[in-house]
Amino acid sequence: MKQPNFLCLPIQLVTAAILLSLVSLTACSKPYSEAQLRQDIAQKLMIDIRYFCNDGTDAKSCRTPVTALPEEISDLISDYSIGGVILFRENLQSIEQIIRLNHQLQQAAQQSKAKQPLFIGIDQEGGRVFRTPREHTTAFTGNMAIGATYKQYGTHFAEQSGAIIGAELKALGINLNFAPTVDVNNNPENPVINVRSYSEDAEVVAKLGLAQLLGMQQQGILATLKHFPGHGDTHVDSHLGLPKVSHDRARIDAVELVPFKHSIQHGDPAMIMTAHIQYPALDNSQLIDMNGNRQYRPATLSRAILTDLLRNDMDFQGIIITDALDMAGISHFFSPKQALIETFKAGTDIALMPIRLHHPDDLDGLAELIDAVVNAVERGELSAGEIQQSAARIRHYKQHYQLADSIPADTGQSITAAHTLLGNEQHRLVEQQLAEAAITLVRGDNLPLDAAITNLLLVMPERSGCMALQNELHHARPSLTTDCVSMDDYQAETFSSRLQTADAVVMGSITPAASLVEFGGMYDQHQTTGERLTPQQQQELLPRLIRQAKAADKQVFFVSLRTPYDISALANDADTVLAVYGYNTHQQQNDNQHLVTGPAFAALARILTGLAEPEGELPVSLH
């Protein structure tokens, strides 16, 4: 290939620290070679290693989790100087395994010509989006639970959860967290954000997002605000389609952008993640998709949004990273090469999951992708100077957060220290305090359960929730007998027979249905189906069951286990209505028994039995 004649441009240094460390680059003391360009492009890529099959399995069928680094992926990282890796639940099985895998990843990076440590990232929001094993790490009940505590506790739980999540990730060798989510959820039909948002109030979201971000970054974890410029007012999941927000600029400034502006002004966020969402009021330019149709540029591909607005107008100095480029909001409309070139043109620093690398046959695709970017530079479509600036920004943040110094020489010591820290007694206490402080009494005055209630029937959406609440109720009031009907295997005859012997009924609801991000992404679309009753069928059934219980003269406690928007439609006939905001469960070993538990269910049991009072406030409006 002919050696391109790259322009050597002055670097726009992003902080005073970069000015001191990189000032010599402005003089352009040596040419920007093609080899260096390729290395810089690779630093701008973050790949996923969720699955890899080198045993002859077909590439499309590969579901073998990477829990130890395959030689092919190790060589790929070393040969190309890849900048980062994202891990998923399948990669994370035990404390020992996680630490060893991360050490293998960093060793591979150290063998590259770039000699740069990897960004090792994860979606560890707390609540429903949480990748590490819950039995080993502290998951919390999530952002909306934190929002429910704001009136009583301010930013306390945002700070504490951020610090604990950050400390535990650091102990595992993970250095980058794709959290906090600062989307303002003011759309009750939002299928993907909902309970992942702190509130519908932009100012509350801004304060809690900043507090959680600072908690993580003070532990040495790069935190990420997402999803810019805001995913809270959509009714389409960008994993499945391309949403459009049609508000005018004044409304976007007053709501969606508020949390991002607040953290940029007060918190020096390391990263901001883009949204695969069209915002015509911010950018009404169009491009041709791979189907030949004209599309408004989604934020991920928009220079007006990422460079003009975020980088220049809002003065964001950190790293801009895309949301996963395999999501339908991008991949159903743009090829991997077009998406990568367009997002780099827009001003993105890091492209997340730009290509699938789950099979030896996939690996050549990475070279082709880098070739495509080099060719775009040669023909003037991409700026070599901007790629150089972007790579310098990435190297600065890796140095600033001392990622190379954090790589352990001895994984044994790291494993011992992690066992002491992860999910320890103090961390679990804060987790439980948050869950309890969040529970909101929406309606009713018959708490706690009357002493005359000795037999309680539970109706839960999932069997794990049944088991967790039964376990925690037995702990809170040993004299209480409980029985449970799970929607996993609902039978009308079973409910009717058990209702006859019950003194009262607790009914739980999860709406909306779990989204792909909770399972981990596009490869798990099959996991959102398969229940005996679909989420819609459960919603249709619950009001009938409540009326049936009331007709049998039973007291009914309705519990919203996710976003409380469902209360208005489902719980009009219930005597008491509670919002819990979480339904995570995990196994806990106790006296040689494996018991199912979860912070929200433990807190609910204490509220129902009078060991605690509900203190939470609804962070969203019910219609």
Q: Can you state the percent helix, strand and coil of the chain, rounding each to 5?
A: 45, 15, 40
213 sits in which H/E element: helix 202-217
Residue 119 neighbours by CB distance under 10 Å? 27
How many Cα atoms sit within 13 Å of 499 on the Cβ side? 21
Contact status, residue 576 vs residue 557, Cβ threshold 8 Å: yes
Considering 123, 237, 323, 566, which one is annotated as catalytic? 323
Measured CA to CA, the distance from residue 542 to residue 546 in angstroms comes to: 6
Q: Write the burial class of residue 389 (CB in 10 Å: 0-12 exposed, 13-18 middle, 19+ buried).
A: buried
Beta-strand (E) ranges in 409-473? 440-443, 455-460
Q: Which long-range contacts (CB under 8 A, 24 or more apart) does 528-534 make?
A: 531/487, 531/488, 532/487, 532/488, 532/489, 532/490, 533/487, 533/490
What is the b/e burial string over 165-190, where b = at least 16 CB atoms within 10 angstroms of the residue's CB?
A: bbbbbbbbbbbbbbbbbbbbbbbbeb
Is residue 573 annotated as a catalytic residue, yes or no?
no
Residue 312 neighbours by CB distance under 10 Å? 11
Q: Which residue, chain included where needed, has tokens 């690398």?
A: 357
272: which strand partners? 225, 320
Contact status, residue 300 vs residue 431, Cβ threshold 8 Å: no
Active site residue ranges: 323
